[in-house]
Chain A
Amino acid sequence: MTTTGSGEHLPPALRTEALEQLLTERGLIDPKVMNGIITEYETNVGPLNGARVVAKAWTDPDYRRRLLEDGTAAIKELGFSGPQGEHIVVVENTPSQHHVVVCTLCSCYPWPVLGLPPSWYKDPAYRSRVVREPRAVLSEMGLELADDVRITVHDSTSEVRWLVLPERPAGTEHLTEEELVPLVSRDAMVGVAKVEAP
């Protein structure tokens, strides 16, 4: 965006550097704090957190019950909380019921368990279409659901955040919680994919 009306589209990297410089030289931001935020979301807050929640729910029936009753509290038991996770509701995918999550108005997403959203989630095509033709959208994304599977789409319009508990794939009965964690994909926890057995 240019506010002086020169009309030239300045590269966002250059404009980002300009804003950082303007705020830093006036002492309004501390570069250490800024770098800390970036590192936090690049390394600590990501879908591995959600995968740990899912793997525990698959192997611990009591935890699964707590997770579906009060997602926020059960997720906090594993140490995950923070911005965009004030009230997380967990919904369970089953052979007959499929949940999928979107935010049509911006790109709200449960950061403490999934990190920052992937590009497909933020794309206008996903935001606009999944509330209108979810079966077609899921098919384009590689997920074919049988005709008798009921689909529920969750549009994240308030501060409620949604996490999908995917189905545990057949053939993983012998795996431990730790062995299940790497199988659980971010996409399955948003509801646009299923978890595959290794």
Chain B
Amino acid sequence: MDGIADMGGTRGWGPVRPPRRDEPVFEEPWQGRAFALAILSSRIACGGINPDAFRHAQERLGRAAYLDDGYYGRWLNAAELMLTDSAVLAPGAIEARARNLRDEGVEEPPTPEPARPDYAPTAEGSLRTVDTTPAFTVGGRVRAKHMSVPGHTRLPGYVRGHTGVVEVIQPAAVLPDTNAHFQGENPQHVYSVRFDSHELWGTDAEPFTLILEMYETYLETP
């Protein structure tokens, strides 16, 4: 989606954090609980495992909800969004309960009637078999479509409109753009595409190669 999650190439984030050798998996106990709750909540919300829907919930968060409490705060907020989308929880239920844990005595919203999406994955995981011949070939030039995407996509803004070369054809997989919205798996061929840094960032760019995976529908012949 065109939004805060699409960070590739954006400016203003400052220096990178140097790695710490003994960093714990979860810096604080709540982070581990939020991680597990998010995994379980996304299953409760849609009756199955749909990482695309969970990523779409993350990218729909506002800037503060995405950033202020870090990675696991983002997971917690995305879990809440999936649960309120499917009416497992009422909007505001978590906040009200949190306040009551502090003895504020606020009224909690009534539990709604769940309205889960119609979701039935055809197999476990994301890999699928596709009968059609791949539209693009290894070594061939392809262009990432230049399109604005209101819903979920895994096509980052920074490659849109740019031309690269197919490096490898990867196993076919469920298309996140439809699966995230419970609109079907729509499996696609997946291509690892190689871009020259100067194509992406201009003549003054550092020389390097960037490789990313793109679903067939993201690509066109230049």
Contact = CB atoms under 8 A, between A and B. Distances in A.
Contacts of A46: 25
B87 interface: no
Nearest to A15: B98
B154 interface: yes
A150 B209 contact: yes
Interface string A13-34: 1111111111100101100011
Given A131-B210, A160-B190, A15 B17 contact: no
A161 to B, nearest CB: 10
B94 A18 contact: yes
Contacts of A86: 125-127
Given A34-B37, A41-B35, A153-B208, A19 B80 contact: yes
A185 B23 CA distance: 12
A120 B37 contact: no
Contacts of A17: 30, 33, 98, 101
A12 B94 contact: no
| Chain B CB within 10 A, most for which of A10, A131, A142 | A131
Contact of A38 (B33, B100, B102, B192): B33
Contacts of A3: 80, 84, 91-92, 94-95
A97 B183 CA distance: 41
Contacts of A52: none
Q: How large is the interface on B (under 10, 10 to 19, 20 to 34, 35 or more residues)?
A: 35 or more
Given A86-B127, A155-B212, A160-B170, A118 B97 contact: no
Contact of B40 (A6, A34, A117, A193): A34
B5 A19 contact: no
Contacts of A126: 16-17
Interface of A: 1-4, 6, 9-10, 12-23, 26, 28-29, 33-35, 37-38, 41-42, 46, 86-87, 89, 104-107, 115-120, 122-137, 140-142, 150-160, 185-187, 192-193
7 contacts: A3-B84, A15-B94, A19-B41, A28-B44, A42-B32, A125-B15, A128-B7
